Amino acid sequence: MAGNKLLVYLLRRDLRVIDNPILHHLATTDHGFTHLLPIYILPPHQIETSGFVAEGQKSPYPLAKSQVGRFWRCGPARAKFQAECIWDVKHNFESVSSGMLVRIGKFDDVLNHLIESLNENNQSIDTVWMTEEPSKEEVDDQNAVARVCSEKGIDFKLWLDEKYFIDDRDTGLKSPQDLPDVFTSYRKTQEPLRERPRPSLPRPQAGSLPSFPSSVPPQKAPFEIPDNYDEFVRRLLDPIDNMISDPPPFPEGAKSAHPFKGGESPAWERLYHLIKSGAMTTYQETRNGLIGTDYSTKLSAFLAMGCISARSIHDELVKFEDGTERDYSKAMGFGQGENEGTRAVRFELLWRDYMRLCTMKYGVRLFKLDGFKGANGNYDKKWNTPNEEDADPDQNPPPKVVAEMINRFIRGTTGMGLVDASSRELYHTGYTSNRARQNAASFLTKHLGVDWRIGASIYEAFLIDFDVNSNHSNWQYIAGCGNDPRSNRSFNPVKQAFDYDNDGKFCRTWCWELREITKLEHVFQLCTALPEELEKHGLTNNIMVTNPLKRIEFSVDRKPRGSRRPYRWKRAGGRGGNNRRGDSGNSSGNGDFNGNYRNGPSSPPNTGDTYMQNNGQSRSNWAPRGNSMSWRGNSNGYGPNNHGLPGRGHIPFQGNSFQQGYTNNAYHHPPRQYMPGPGYSQQQQYVPHAYHQQLPPHM
Ligand SMILES: Cc1cc2nc3c(=O)[nH]c(=O)nc-3n(C[C@H](O)[C@H](O)[C@H](O)COP(=O)(O)OP(=O)(O)OC[C@H]3O[C@@H](n4cnc5c(N)ncnc54)[C@H](O)[C@@H]3O)c2cc1C
């Protein structure tokens, strides 16, 4: 209609109205748009959408399965969480007198259909905006939208996403290529972290946004989108409901550590709860926990969908630390400045930033078998693959055996208690702790030598908080082909279980077979239990006993209890320290990560020294109690401090394309990573397949 100026805002992982740069701009400047049409697109390559196809019709898109692994890209836990996020933000748009459409299809298909439908009614789109994402598929989608806009004479702008902790314009990096490969080096250039984030942007006032169009084009056939939530979720989950055959049964009494609904409103409720309950203050002490909702923030899934920004979290922490928000006045540490816990949360949020910056630096290397390390051309580690076509003729174990290992890893029957409990928890709840993830990833890639990308796609399928940058970078980090400067170390999952599940509760909760097993070392590695005990509990023929995927030599000596110090590990000798991941300090060669992977409690270095767990009156649910023990596991000495730490060096904003939003097609994109695959039947067992033929030559 003459005089109308329609802006289409395509949402992706920015499902929020608070601290949303696009909405803030629209609410506060004289932009000239008369109408705003926000659209959330369910991308059929990343989430299965065939449940929305009208009866008797077929989806034009291949199944949303991962290229490496052929797992569903998005499993039920995240699909449901995502549906909740979509519905919640739709409601939030309505609460500021706007609205939001949900559409299904490839980005260019949706946009083309929208343009055609509007044209039929003598309407047109003036401008399309979206926020940028750096990883390959997202860049492809951006490019596809930019292309359509350029063909149809529509303005297109890509906005800088401001959901991260430190704004790209303030990092001091002139280009992503300047990012140090050691996290600590980067962190040191950004400290003090509390001073770094920009202020967050307020929720737009009702009526401040351009009007939502009075009529909107329908969804393109063959898809139909129900307008009620229950039906929407039913259709979303229908095709992916049975992710695996013979799944582990849900253990009686087990509870999800992540029972939270998705959405912007639940994200804020969660944040308020964490501050008011004191969980933010105790975070540093509890963050290596395994059981319960509050040992860590559980903000990752909200952050991944962009329901809340890292700087909004920071802002609330500042209000609490400065004592300016009376609602927080009863919380431990109120008005006393930054504390160990709030500092540690900022530290972790910087890790998240860093992982994204790594994607910007390395592009498609995020998905490559030789990872970031392969960039120098000297990384040639061989991985065990389940694919006959890719395996070396002398691969040991052979591909069939590797496929079976993967099946058992997913179902939690490897025989390694901590790893199995984590897999089962993940399968049932969509969440498992950072500590458990590290151990599971290390077991699969280091102990079993399996292609890390298979693990990454399993996590993509099952994690509620999947974020491609954080997930793939962490997998690479643990596998040794990413940005871990000491890449040949691995976790000892038995020792880690003694360190972090010291009463066996986590393992016994999720691996119900282990509940009656009395000795911890047997809980953590069932095959070490005595025949009489196995017989007694009917476990003699259990596959975890008859064919454990790995045996780890580990002996336990009971020692007298040491003195107690709340929350802390107490070292009884040798060197220790409160080391953080990537920090300088202990390096353990091929041994354990020393339990000090990041800023957790100081735990034993791996030198064969004797350590005692504190069994004091801890407020945390992970904290050690009961037996004090010493360990003699795979011990390794310390390595040198191999991180040169540059001083702080902020370079002012240079205004280059890395730091600014892009316009139209004027940006380069790397070659395609995920290629559309043929329609495979629903994933049941892991069956190796000949995917390599579809991959570009560099894979
Ligand atoms: C193999 C592996 C895969 C992972 N996959 C993902 C993933 O897909 N998505 C994801 O968000 N995190 C991932 N992580 C990182 C980390 O495990 C989760 O962010 C964390 O467990 C989420 O729980 P939380 O929100 O309670 O974290 P908290 O301990 O409360 O941390 C606060 C926030 O800091 C960020 N953060 C913490 N640790 C990391 C980290 N190592 N890397 C990046 N950001 C971090 C997250 O945004 C998190 O919400 C992975 C880690 C490993 C070892």
Question: Are residues 320 and 275 in contact, defined by beta-carbon separation less than 8 angstroms?
Answer: yes
Question: Are residues 284 and 264 in contact, defined by beta-carbon separation less than 8 angstroms?
Answer: no
pTM of the predicted model as reported, rounded to 2 decimal places: 0.84
Residue in this structure with the two tokens 């940005």, named with its chain if needed: 483
Question: Are residues 581 and 182 in contact, defined by beta-carbon separation less than 8 angstroms?
Answer: no
* Ligand 1 close to Cβ of residue 471 (< 6 A): yes
- What is the model's pLDDT at position 591? 34
- What is the model's pLDDT at position 557? 67
- What is the model's pLDDT at position 556? 77
Q: How many helices (H) and strands (E) does the chain have?
A: 21, 9
**pLDDT reading at 24 higher than 50:** yes
- Nearest by Cα to 133 from 162, 167, 100, 166: 162
Please tell me the residue having the least CA distance from ligand 1 atom 3: 471
- The atom of ligand 1 lying closest to the CA of 300 is 49
Helix-strand-coil split of the chain, %, nearest 5:
40, 5, 55
The two beta strands, 127-131 and 6-11, are parallel
* Ligand 1 close to Cβ of residue 460 (< 6 A): no
Bridge partners (DSSP) listed for residue 557:
630
Average pLDDT, the chain: 83
- What is the model's pLDDT at position 1? 54
Residue 36, H or E segment: strand 35-42
- What is the model's pLDDT at position 553? 87
Can you tell me the mean pLDDT for 294-311?
Answer: 98
| Best mutation site among 434, 471, 496 for ligand 1 pocket (most ligand atoms within 8 Å of CB) | 434
- Nearest by Cα to 341 from 646, 619, 645: 619
Residue in this structure with the two tokens 């020393």, named with its chain if needed: 594
Dist. CA 176–CA 191, nearest whole Å: 19
Read off the pLDDT band of 616 (50, 70, 90).
very low
The residues near 415 (Cβ < 8 Å, ≥ 6 apart) are 525, 526, 527, 543, 544, 545, 547, 548, 549, 550
* Ligand 1 close to Cβ of residue 303 (< 6 A): yes
Query: How much distance in Å is there from the Cα of 636 to the middle of ligand 1?
Result: 27
Can you tell me the mean pLDDT for 569-574?
Answer: 30
* Ligand 1 close to Cβ of residue 636 (< 6 A): no
Can you tell me the mean pLDDT for 181-207?
Answer: 97
Please tell me the residue having the least CA distance from ligand 1 atom 5: 471
Kindly compute the dihedral angle of the four CA atoms of residues 155, 25, 356, 147, in this order, to the nearest 10 degrees: -10
DSSP code for 464: T
Can you tell me the mean pLDDT for 383-411?
Answer: 96
- The atom of ligand 1 lying closest to the CA of 348 is 34
Read off the pLDDT band of 161 (50, 70, 90).
confident
Query: How much distance in Å is there from the Cα of 300 to the middle of ligand 1?
Result: 6
- What is the model's pLDDT at position 555? 81
Residue in this structure with the two tokens 């009494």, named with its chain if needed: 253
Which of 120-134, 150-164, 657-671 has the lowest average pLDDT? 657-671
Q: Measured in Å, how far apart are the chain's first and last C-alpha atoms?
A: 50
CATH class of the structural domain 264-361: mainly alpha
Dist. CA 514–CA 409, nearest whole Å: 17
Read off the pLDDT band of 671 (50, 70, 90).
very low
The tokens describing 356, both together, are 């994204």
Read off the pLDDT band of 72 (50, 70, 90).
very high
- Nearest by Cα to 390 from 377, 399, 380: 399
- Nearest by Cα to 670 from 370, 367, 357: 367
Which of 346-355, 400-409, 452-461, 628-637 has the lowest average pLDDT? 628-637
360 backbone dihedrals φ, ψ, rounded to 5°: -65, -35
Query: Which amino acid would we find at residue 528?
Result: T
Show me where the domains of the chain are located. Answer: 6-162+198-213+230-240+654-671+690-694, 264-361, 365-375+400-632
Read off the pLDDT band of 319 (50, 70, 90).
very high
Residues 436-460: tens digit of each pLDDT: 999 999 999 999 999 999 999 999 9
* Ligand 1 close to Cβ of residue 298 (< 6 A): yes
* Ligand 1 close to Cβ of residue 359 (< 6 A): no
Q: Which string of b and e fits 269-306 if b means at least 16 CB within 10 Å?
A: ebbebbbbebbbbbbbbbbbbbbebbbbbbbbbbbbbb
Read off the pLDDT band of 177 (50, 70, 90).
very high
Can you tell me the mean pLDDT for 121-131?
Answer: 97
| Best mutation site among 474, 476, 622 for ligand 1 pocket (most ligand atoms within 8 Å of CB) | 474
The residues near 638 (Cβ < 8 Å, ≥ 6 apart) are 575, 585, 586, 587, 588, 605, 607
Diameter over CA atoms, the chain: 85
- What is the model's pLDDT at position 577? 33
The residues near 199 (Cβ < 8 Å, ≥ 6 apart) are 311, 315
% of the chain exceeding 90 in pLDDT: 76
- What is the model's pLDDT at position 673? 28
CATH of domain 365-375+400-632: 1.10.579.10
CATH class of the structural domain 6-162+198-213+230-240+654-671+690-694: alpha beta
- What is the model's pLDDT at position 571? 29
Bridge partners (DSSP) listed for residue 104:
42
Question: Are residues 154 and 664 in contact, defined by beta-carbon separation less than 8 angstroms?
Answer: no
Please tell me the residue having the least CA distance from ligand 1 atom 44: 352
- What is the model's pLDDT at position 294? 98
Dist. CA 349–CA 13, nearest whole Å: 17
Read off the pLDDT band of 242 (50, 70, 90).
confident
Question: Are residues 210 and 126 in contact, defined by beta-carbon separation less than 8 angstroms?
Answer: no
Residues 472-529: tens digit of each pLDDT: 999 999 999 999 998 888 999 999 999 999 999 999 999 999 999 999 999 999 999 9
Question: Are residues 322 and 278 in contact, defined by beta-carbon separation less than 8 angstroms?
Answer: no
- What is the model's pLDDT at position 688? 43
The tokens describing 103, both together, are 């559409």
Residue in this structure with the two tokens 């091929």, named with its chain if needed: 590
